[in-house]
């Protein structure tokens, strides 16, 4: 069942209950209680919609996507993460966009496209570094799990190459290849919002990468000389082993 950003249950809900329910949903998912997690997260989406907080479902949709992935439902996971990506773009928060793309990486890995999963993980790492907010160790559970899935199939060298390729791919090129629902959020998204976010991220990529390029001045050349698919609008890498 697709859970669009505009989903609203018929029963009433107290918007103030959303915050603790998010925590309960996260705990339940990490404990493997997926039905309980879904119940809590759906209630969060309902509460946000009742409160008129339309970008709010971006995070619970990501969590629902991970629930679907852990159930082995690749298409369900992809659908929820794409809905979450639409809401993330509405927030204008690069971290929310990164979370949605990390979820899509999990859906890709589950569906058997481990190379694309590794590329997306590289892109999300660069996005997070570009705003100075890399994932702390305690929040890397999903990224580490998805990375392990992809690395187990690809091998370390191929995983690293795909990761680095994703790291130097502009985020707008990644978004252009994603089928983002046009009506994912119940409030229309500013038509220029996505473009402004992408432009802003591009500038932050360049600034963040320029500093790291001093440590590996040949990194971009090494990737461009590889045999992987060509990159649209490449940026220099910020990958660290």
pLDDT tens across 58-73, in order?
Answer: 899 999 999 999 999 9
Helix, strand, or coil here: 22? helix
For the chain, what are the domain ranges? 54-224
Dihedrals phi, psi of 169, to nearest 5 degrees: -95, 130
- For residue 205, what pLDDT is reported? 42
Q: CA angle, 26 as apex, 21 and 31 as ends, to 5°?
A: 125
Domain with residues 54-224, CATH architecture: Alpha Horseshoe (1.25)
pLDDT tens across 172-223, in order?
Answer: 888 877 777 755 554 444 434 444 455 455 444 444 434 443 333 333 333 3
| Beta strand spans in 173-234 (E) | none
Among the ranges given (117-121, 125-129, 167-171), the one the predictor scored with the smallest mean pLDDT: 167-171
Q: What is the pTM of this model?
A: 0.72
Residue 48 tokens, joined: 């946000």
pLDDT tens across 5-22, in order?
Answer: 433 333 334 444 457 888
pLDDT tens across 219-236, in order?
Answer: 333 333 333 333 333 333
């Amino acid at each position: 069942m697709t859970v669009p950003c505009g989903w609203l249950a018929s029963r009433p809900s107290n918007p103030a209950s959303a915050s603790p329910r998010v925590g309960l949903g996260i705990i339940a998912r990490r404990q493997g209680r997926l039905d309980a997690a879904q119940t809590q997260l759906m209630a969060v989406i309902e509460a946000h919609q009742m409160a008129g907080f339309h970008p709010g479902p971006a995070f619970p949709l990501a969590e629902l996507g991970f629930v679907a992935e852990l159930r082995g439902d690749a298409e369900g996971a992809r659908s929820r993460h794409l809905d979450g990506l639409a809401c993330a773009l509405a927030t204008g928060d690069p971290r929310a966009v990164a979370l949605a793309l990390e979820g899509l990486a999990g859906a890709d890995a589950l569906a058997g496209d481990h190379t694309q999963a590794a590329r997306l993980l590289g892109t999300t790492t660069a996005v997070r570094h570009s705003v100075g907010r890399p994932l702390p160790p305690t929040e890397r559970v999903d990224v580490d799990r998805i990375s392990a899935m992809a690395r187990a199939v690809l091998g370390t060298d191929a995983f690293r190459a795909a990761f680095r390729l994703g790291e130097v791919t502009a985020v707008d090129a990644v978004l252009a290849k994603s089928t983002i629902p046009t009506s994912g959020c119940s409030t229309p998204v500013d038509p220029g919002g996505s473009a402004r976010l992408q432009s802003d991220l591009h500038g932050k990529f360049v600034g963040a990468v320029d500093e790291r390029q001093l440590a590996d001045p040949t990194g971009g050349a090494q990737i461009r000389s590889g045999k992987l698919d060509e990159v649209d609008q490449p940026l220099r890498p910020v990958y660290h082993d």
